Copies of this chain bind each other. A is one copy, B any other.
Amino acid sequence: MAQKVKLSTIAETLGLSTATISLALRDSPLVAADTREKIKDQARALGYIYNRRAASLRTSRSGIIGVVVHDIMNPFYGEILKAIETELDRSRHTFILSNHYDSVDKQRMFIETLLQLGGDGVIMSPAIGTPPEDVLLAENNNMPAIFVARSMDGLDVPIYRGDDTYGISLATNHLIGLGHRSIAMIGGTDQTSTGRDRYQGYVNALRKAGIEVDPGLRIPGPRTKQGGFEAAVNFLSLPQKPTAAVCWNDLVAIGLMNGIARAGLIPGQDISVTGYDDLEEASIATPSLTTVWNGQAEVGRLAARALLDKLAGSHEPDGIHLIKPEMRIRQSTAPIRR
C-alpha cells in the first residue's frame, strides 16, 4: 500500500491549507466554487479516504446508529429493519445491527460498544428483563433511544409498535363471527408487553361475545415456526377439541398449519387458524393465511424518522405511538363445521 493520503496530503500537493480542503470536501460555500472542484478532483485522483474516526473525535458525532432486536433472522424484525435501513440510507447514516436473543448481557454489551464508537442513537426492541439502567446508560451519555415493537415501564422513551390488544381482538372476533366457540391461543409469553397485550385482547374478545375463557385453551411459549409445528401435537390432543386457533404470530400459525397437515387434517377446513403480522410469506402459505397486518414497515420507518428528527434537534413527542392493525382475511379460516 502506498503512503496514506490524508487532508494534509491534498493540501500540500495543491498548495492550500487543510482547513480549506476540509471545508471544500464538505461542500462549504466558504470555499470558492472552482477551488472546491479542484480539491475534489485531486482527492479523487489521490484515492483519498475520509477518516471518520478523526472527524468524529473532533465533532463528537459519528453518523452511527445502533439497532438491536431479538433476532434479525425473524422476518418480523427483518421487515422492520428493512424500513429502518431505507430511512437511514437516505440520510447517510451507518447502522450497526445486533441480536440480543433476549439476553440482557448481550444487549448491554452492544450498548457499551455503541457508546465506545460514539453512536448517535439507538433503536431497540428491549430484551426481556432489561433493567432501566441499561437504557439510561445510553440516554445519559447523549445517545437517545427509541423503542420498537416492545414497551418497557418506568421509562419515557418514545415507542413505536402495533396496537396488540386491538389487533388480536380483530382476529378473535373474526373467528367468533365464523361460528367458532372453542378457540385456542397458541404461543407468546407473558414476559413481554406484547405477549401480555395479545393475550388480554383475546380474553377481552371472548368475554365480550359471552364465551367463557378457558385457561386450558392457552398454549403459551411458541414464537417460531418450529415452535408452532411442535405445538400442533398438544393442540390436537386438547380435551376441549378446539375448532380454531389464534396464533401469536404468522410463524407460529404457519408452523401449526404444517403440524396439523402432518396429522392428516386440513388447516383452513378442519381447523381455522389465524396469524399475526402479515409477513410477506403469509399470502403464499398453503392455505394462505388469515392474519392481522401489524405495520412492520411503518414501525421501522417512523422510529427511524423520529430518531433522526431528534438528532436534528427537534423535540419529538415522547410516549407510545400505536400503529392501528388491520384484518387480512384469506383461506386459513372458514365457518365452523357443524
- Whether A53 pairs with B141 at a CB distance below 8 angstroms is no
- Whether A53 pairs with B117 at a CB distance below 8 angstroms is yes
Known: A72-B78, A78-B73, A281-B225. A118 touches B1 (CB 8 A): no
A262→B225 CA distance, assembly (Å): 21
Q: Which residues of B contact A23 (CB under 8 A)?
A: none
A116→B92 CA distance, assembly (Å): 13
Copies per complex of this chain: 2
Main secondary structure of the interface of A (DSSP, over half): helix
- Whether B226 pairs with A284 at a CB distance below 8 angstroms is yes
Is there a chain B Cβ closer than 8 Å to A142's Cβ? yes
Query: Measured between C-beta atoms, what is the minimum distance from A224 to chain B in Å?
Result: 9
- Whether A140 pairs with B1 at a CB distance below 8 angstroms is yes
Docked complex: A198-238 residues within 8 A CB-CB of B: 225-226, 229
Q: Which residues of B contact A285 (CB under 8 A)?
A: 258
- Whether B141 pairs with A1 at a CB distance below 8 angstroms is yes
Encode contact with B along A41-64: 1 for CB under 8 Å, 0 otherwise. Answer: 000000001111110110000101
Q: Which of A32-40, A93-101, A179-187, A315-323 contacts B (4 or more CB under 8 A)?
A: A93-101
Question: Which residue numbers of A lie inside 8 Å of B, CB to CB?
Answer: 1, 49-54, 56-57, 62, 64, 72-73, 75, 78-79, 81-82, 85, 94, 96-97, 99, 112-113, 115-118, 140-142, 225-226, 229, 255, 257-259, 261-262, 280-281, 284-286
